Structure 1
Amino acid sequence: MSLYSAEKAVLPHSHVSSPSWLWTWQTLLPVLITGASFFVHLGLPDKQPAASNGVYTGLLALFLLIYAALIAGGVLRPALGRRLREQAPLVTLVLVLLGIWQLLTQKLDLFPMPYFPSQVKILDALIGEASSLAVSTLYSFRLLAIGYIIGTVLGLATGILMGWYHRFRYWVNPFLRVLGPIPSTAWIPIVLVIFPTSFSASVFLIVLAVWFPVTVMTWTGIANVNNSFFEVARTLGAGESYLIRKVAIPAAFPQIFIGLFMGTGTSFVTLIVAEMLGVKAGLGFYITWAQGWGEYYKVYAALFIMALLFSGIITLLFKFKDKVLIWQKGLIKW
Structure 2
Amino acid sequence: MSQRLASSVRFAPSPNVTTVRRAFPLAQTLPWLAGPVWLVAALVTWRAPDADDFPATNDLAVLFAALGVVLLVAAAGRRLSARAPWAIALGVGFGLWEVAQAKLLWLPRPFFGTPQDLLDVFQSDWRKLGDSLLHSLALLAIGYLGGATLGIAVGAGLGRSPRFRYWVRPIMRLIGPLPPVALLPLAFVLIPSSRVAGDALMALAAGFPVAVLTWSGIAAVDPAYYDVARTMGAKQRFLLFHVALPAATPQIFVGLFMGLGASFSMLVVAEMLGVKSGLGFYLQWAQGWAAYPNMYAALLVMSLMCSALMTVLFKLRDHLLNWQKDGLKW
Q: Is the 8 A contact 1:49 1:106 kept in 2?
A: no
User: How far apart are the structure 2 equivalents of 1:199 and 1:121?
Assistant: 32
Return closer, same or farther for 1:10/1:303 CA change in 2, 3 Å cut-off.
Answer: farther
1:98 maps to which residue?
94
- State yes or no: 1:205 paired with 2:201: yes
1:214 maps to which residue?
210
Within 5 A, what are the aligned runs for 1:59-208? Answer: 59-74=63-78, 80=79, 84-208=80-204
Counting aligned pairs with the same residue, the percent is 41
Return closer, same or farther for 1:285/1:11 CA change in 2, 3 Å cut-off.
Answer: farther
- State the secondary structure of the residue aligned to 2:178: coil
Q: Is the 8 A contact 2:272 2:284 kept in 1?
A: yes
2:31 maps to which residue?
27
- TM-score by length of structure 1 reads 0.91
Question: Cα offset for 1:8?
Answer: 11
Aligned with 2:293 (options 289, 297, 300) = 297
Q: Is the 8 A contact 1:159 1:214 kept in 2?
A: yes
Question: Cα offset for 1:244?
Answer: 0.4
Question: Cα offset for 1:26?
Answer: 2.0
Question: Cα offset for 1:48?
Answer: 4.0
- The answer to which of 157-166 and 30-39 deviates more is 30-39
Question: Cα offset for 1:127?
Answer: 1.0
1:47 maps to which residue?
51
Return closer, same or farther for 1:9/1:286 CA change in 2, 3 Å cut-off.
Answer: farther
Within 5 A, what are the aligned runs for 1:7-26? Answer: 13=13, 16=17, 18-19=21-22, 21-26=25-30
Question: Cα offset for 1:50?
Answer: 2.7
Return closer, same or farther for 1:186/1:7 CA change in 2, 3 Å cut-off.
Answer: farther
User: How far apart are the structure 1 equivalents of 2:137 and 2:266?
Assistant: 13
Q: Which runs of 5+ in 2 are unaligned?
A: none
- TM-score by length of structure 2 reads 0.92
Q: Which runs of 5+ in 1 are unaligned?
A: 75-79
Q: Which amino acid aligns with 1:226?
A: D
- The answer to which of 52-61 and 129-138 deviates more is 52-61
User: How far apart are the structure 2 equivalents of 1:185 and 1:108?
Assistant: 42
Question: Cα offset for 1:22?
Answer: 3.0
Aligned with 1:320 (options 316, 321, 325) = 316
Query: What is the CA deviation profile of residues 253-284 of structure 1, one whole-angstrom value per residue up to 9, with x for unaligned ones?
Result: 00000000000000000000110001111000
User: How far apart are the structure 1 equivalents of 2:289 and 2:96?
Assistant: 27
Report how many aligned residue pairs link the two structures. Answer: 323
Return closer, same or farther for 1:23/1:241 CA change in 2, 3 Å cut-off.
Answer: closer
Q: Which amino acid aligns with 2:152?
A: L
Q: Which amino acid aligns with 1:304?
A: L
- State the secondary structure of the residue aligned to 1:294: coil
User: How far apart are the structure 2 equivalents of 1:199 and 1:183?
Assistant: 18
Return closer, same or farther for 1:10/1:70 CA change in 2, 3 Å cut-off.
Answer: farther
Question: Cα offset for 1:152?
Answer: 0.8
Report runs of 4+ in structure 1 exceeding 4 Å deviation.
Answer: 6-12, 14-17
Question: Cα offset for 1:9?
Answer: 9.5
User: How far apart are the structure 2 equivalents of 1:233 and 1:314?
Assistant: 35
Query: What is the CA deviation profile of residues 184-233 of structure 1, one whole-angstrom value per residue up to 9, with x for unaligned ones?
Result: 11111111111101111111110110010000000001111111111111
- State yes or no: 1:228 paired with 2:224: yes
User: How far apart are the structure 1 equivalents of 2:27 and 2:247?
Assistant: 47
Q: CA RMSD in A?
A: 2.1
Question: Cα offset for 1:25?
Answer: 3.1
User: How far apart are the structure 2 equivalents of 1:87 and 1:254?
Assistant: 31
